[in-house]
Amino acid sequence: MLSNGFIRNHAMGIVADDNGVGFHYYDRSKVIESQAFDIPDDEWKKLFMAMVCQLNKLDHEKLGFIPHLDLVDFDHLRDPKQFAYDLDNDLQGLVGARYSFIGSDGLRRTIVIEKVLYRAEGIIGRCSIVVEVRCVCSVSGCNWDGENKIMKISFPTRSRTSEEVFIREASAKAKSSGNHWALNHLPNIIDSITVTYDETKTVQGRLKAHLKEQYEERVMRVTILEKLYSLSELEDVREFAQVFYDILQIHQWLYECAGILHRDLSIGNIMFRRIDGKVYGVLNDFDLSSFVHDMAKGPASDFRTGTRPFMSVDLLNPKWNGGHLYRHDLESLFFIMICLACRYERPGVPAAEPRAFSKWFSGTDDEVREKKESFYGDRFYGAELPIQPYFAGFREWLVIIYYWLCSAYQGRPHIMHPPTLELLSAWNSLSNTSYDWNTLGGIFTYAIMKQLMCSFQKQPLETRWSGGNPDH
Q: Which residue in 2, 1, 42 sits closest to 20, CA to CA?
A: 42
Q: Which alpha helices (DSSP H) does 286-364 contain, by range?
A: 326-343, 359-362
pLDDT value for 107:
82
pLDDT value for 145:
72
Kindly report, residue by residue over 151-208, the tens digit of the pLDDT.
998 878 788 899 999 999 999 999 999 999 999 999 999 999 887 765 555 555 555 5
Beta bridge partners of 115: 132
Q: SS3 of 460, please?
A: strand
pTM of structure:
0.82
d(CA 245, CA 446): 11
Q: In the chain, which stretches have pLDDT less than 50?
A: 1-10, 28, 63-65, 71, 75-78, 80, 82-91, 299-303
Kindly report, residue by residue over 230-260, the tens digit of the pLDDT.
999 998 999 999 999 999 999 999 999 999 9
Using only C-alpha atoms, the chain has a radius of gyration, in whole angstroms, of: 24
pLDDT value for 206:
54
pLDDT value for 307:
86
pLDDT value for 304:
57
pLDDT value for 275:
96
Indicate the burial class of 190 (C-beta count within 10 angstroms; 0-12, 13-18, 19 or more): middle
CA separation, residue 413 to residues 16, 21, 286, 427, 428 (Å): 54, 55, 33, 10, 11
pLDDT value for 65:
46
Query: 10 Å Cβ neighbour count for 155?
Result: 23
Q: Across all residues in the chain, what is the average pLDDT? A: 80
Domains in the chain, please, with CATH? Answer: 2-154 (no CATH), 163-187+228-460 (1.10.510.10)
